[in-house]
């Protein structure tokens, strides 16, 4: 039996879908017995949601006022205190997990496996390096607890329909006061979350202005899609930073990805190579994005995008 603890990601009220993706990865390990831990100021709703993930044994909760916001320095000692009962502790490769898990690993005196793409054996995994230009097979030491982040774009969402028991856990550790959460500035949007949307449309520098990005938003709303952008478009100020897709932005795997006015730098392609179908619209027929696109259209986005929106809204 392999006891695995997954640290749930949430925003204080809702469970993030990254948690169910971590469950899929954990389930790929032979003899997995999976617990999910929810650390929050109010655990009930989040824990109830986690309990519905199929294939988990228990949901543990740690309810403390200090856990109101996800501050790695505060969460890490609690996760480390719980790790003693487990052979594996997993978190998602989102900014939440990437911030938290290495701190947990260091408290436990072990290294971490980042961005698990596939499970090859009990301690053997594949992970991307060099912006995904190479895949390395790694083996973690078998005699220590294994801390890892799960590359969420590589794993399906575990099914719902479970009813795991919810138990309060004790992680009584002294928590630091040297780090204080001030606030979150979020570009409010009713569109689907970029990292979990089934369809994503993304725009590049060729849009030319923030105003022209409206063409992209109109297409997204017609399709019910999430919206992403290339680094060039973000750097040019056409849209918010959190829309960036690529090596240093978000790594996504939607069923349909429509890249518009994006040339396709390696760092961008890294973020989309697991998409089901890639569509590219670009003026430049030689753009590298066409080398990976399943369907390509060489044309001017200023006419093609409204035309596409119009055709799809019928």
| Closer residue to other proteins (CB): 164 or 204 | 204
**Beta pairing class for 112-116 and 146-150:** parallel
Q: Which neighbouring-strand residues pair with 199?
A: 256
The answer to whether residue 247 forms part of the interface with other proteins (CB under 8 A) is yes
Instruction: Give the residue with the Cβ less far from other proteins, 140 or 206.
Output: 140
Judged by beta carbon, residue 163 or residue 310, the one nearer other proteins is 310
- Nearer to other proteins by Cβ, of 23 and 140: the residue is 140
Contacts of other proteins in 266-285 (CB under 8 A): 266, 273, 277-279, 281
Let me know the angle formed at the C-alpha of 176 by 174 and 178, rounded to the nearest 5 degrees.
165
| Burial status of residue 185 (CB atoms within 10 A of its CB: 0-12, 13-18, 19 or more) | exposed
Q: In angstroms, what CA-CA distances link 222 with 226, 229, 247, 258, 280?
A: 11, 18, 28, 13, 18
The Cα diameter of the chain in Å comes to 61
Residue 264 within binding range of other proteins, rule CB under 8 A? no
Nearest to 60 by CA among 45, 39, 75: 39
**How many residues sit close enough to other proteins to count as binding (CB under 8 A)?**
87
36 within 8 A of 64, measured Cβ to Cβ: no
41-49, 159-167, 213-221, 300-308 -> range binding other proteins (CB under 8 A): 300-308
- Give how far the C-alpha of residue 290 lies from the chain's centroid of Cα atoms, to the nearest Å: 26
Alpha carbons 10 and 61: distance in angstroms, whole number: 13
Determine if 133 is a binding residue for other proteins (CB under 8 A): yes
Give the shortest CB-9-to-other proteins separation in angstroms: 9
- Asked if 95 is part of the footprint of other proteins (rule: CB under 8 A), the reply reads yes
Q: Which stretch binds other proteins (CB under 8 A): 44-52, 56-64, 122-130, 161-169?
A: 122-130
Candidates 5, 197, 200, 223; binder of other proteins (CB under 8 A) is: 223
Give the nearer residue to other proteins in terms of CB position, either 51 or 125.
125
Pick between residue 7 and residue 56 the one whose CB is nearest to other proteins.
7
Stretch that binds other proteins, among 23-31, 50-58, 208-216, 228-236 (CB under 8 A): 228-236
Please identify, among the stretches 24-32, 83-91, 208-216, 288-296, the one whose residues bind other proteins according to the rule CB under 8 A: 288-296
CA 34 – CA 5 distance, rounded (Å) = 6
Closest CA to 179 of 306, 18, 66, 310: 66
CA separation for the pair 161, 61 (Å, rounded): 20
User: Apex CA 22: angle with CA 17 and CA 28, to 5°?
Assistant: 140
Question: Taking CA 82 as the corner, what is the angle to CA 81 and CA 83, rounded to the nearest 5 degrees?
Answer: 95
Answer yes or no whether residue 73 interacts with other proteins by CB under 8 A. Answer: yes
- The pair phi, psi for residue 137, each rounded to 5°, is -95, 125
Listed ranges 81-89, 134-142, 163-171, 200-208: which one lies at the site for other proteins (CB under 8 A): 134-142
Residue 122 makes contact with other proteins by CB under 8 A: no
Binding of residue 48 to other proteins (CB under 8 A): no
User: Interacting stretch for other proteins, rule CB under 8 A, among 20-28, 33-41, 43-51, 68-76?
Assistant: 68-76
Residue 237, classed as helix, strand or coil, is coil
- Kindly identify the residues of this chain, within the stretch 158-197, that bind other proteins according to CB under 8 A: 176, 178-187, 195
């Amino acid at each position: 039996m392999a006891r695995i603890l997954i640290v749930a990601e949430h925003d204080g009220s809702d469970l993030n879908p990254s948690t169910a993706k971590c469950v899929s990865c954990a389930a790929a390990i032979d003899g997995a017995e999976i617990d999910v831990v929810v650390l929050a100021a109010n655990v009930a709703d989040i824990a109830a949601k986690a309990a519905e993930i199929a294939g988990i044994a228990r949901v543990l909760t740690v309810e403390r006022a200090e856990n109101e916001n996800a501050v790695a320095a505060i969460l890490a000692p609690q996760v480390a205190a719980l790790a003693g009962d487990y052979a594996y502790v997993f978190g998602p490769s989102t900014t939440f997990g990437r911030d938290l898990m290495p701190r947990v690993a260091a408290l436990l005196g072990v290294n971490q496996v980042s961005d698990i793409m596939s499970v090859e054996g009990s301690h053997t995994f594949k992970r991307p390096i060099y912006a995904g230009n190479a895949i390395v097979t790694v083996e973690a030491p078998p005699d220590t607890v294994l801390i890892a982040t799960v590359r969420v774009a590589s794993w399906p969402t575990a099914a719902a329909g479970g009813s795991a028991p919810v138990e309060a856990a004790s992680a009584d550790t002294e928590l630091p006061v040297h780090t204080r959460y001030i606030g979150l500035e979020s570009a409010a949007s009713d569109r689907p979350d970029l990292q979990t949307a089934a369809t994503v449309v993304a725009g590049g520098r060729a849009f030319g202005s923030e105003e022209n990005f409206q063409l992209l938003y109109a297409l997204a709303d017609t399709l019910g899609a999430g919206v992403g952008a290339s680094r060039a478009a973000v750097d040019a100020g056409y849209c918010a930073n959190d829309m960036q897709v690529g090596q240093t932005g978000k790594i996504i795997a939607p069923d349909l990805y429509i890249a518009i006015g994006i040339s396709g730098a390696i760092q961008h392609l890294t973020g989309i190579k697991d998409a089901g179908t890639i569509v590219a619209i670009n003026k430049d027929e030689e753009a590298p994005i066409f080398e990976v696109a399943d369907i390509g259209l060489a044309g001017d986005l200023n006419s093609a995008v409204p035309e596409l929106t119009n055709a799809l809204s019928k």
